[in-house]
Amino acid sequence: MRQTEIKLTPSRIARLLLWPVGILSLITVPMDALVNTKGMLYFSWVIPGFAFVAIVGFAFLGVLRHLDSRTRNRFLAAGFLFVGGALGMECVGAAVLDSMGEDHIAYILTATIEETCEMLGVVLFIWSIASHLGEQAGEVRFTLNPQPAPLA
pLDDT at 49 (0 to 100)? 84
pLDDT at 72 (0 to 100)? 95
Of the pLDDT bands very low, low, confident and very high (cuts 50, 70, 90), residue 141 is confident
At residue 102, φ and ψ (nearest 5 deg) are: -75, -15
Of the pLDDT bands very low, low, confident and very high (cuts 50, 70, 90), residue 9 is low
Range(s) of the domain holding residue 45:
7-144
Under DSSP, is residue 125 helix (H, G, I), strand (E, B) or coil? helix
Would you put residue 95 in left (φ > 0), alpha (ψ -120 to 50) or beta? alpha
Domains in the chain, number: 1
Does residue 150 fall inside a structural domain? no
Does residue 99 fall inside a structural domain? yes
Does residue 109 fall inside a structural domain? yes
Does residue 1 fall inside a structural domain? no
Does residue 39 fall inside a structural domain? yes
Assess whether pLDDT exceeds 60 at residue 3.
no
* pTM of the complete model: 0.72
Report yes or no: 121 and 81 within 8 Å, Cβ to Cβ.
Answer: yes
Residues 6+ apart with CB under 8 A from 7: 143, 144, 145
Task: Look up residue 66 and give its DSSP letter.
Answer: T
Assess whether pLDDT exceeds 70 at residue 5.
no
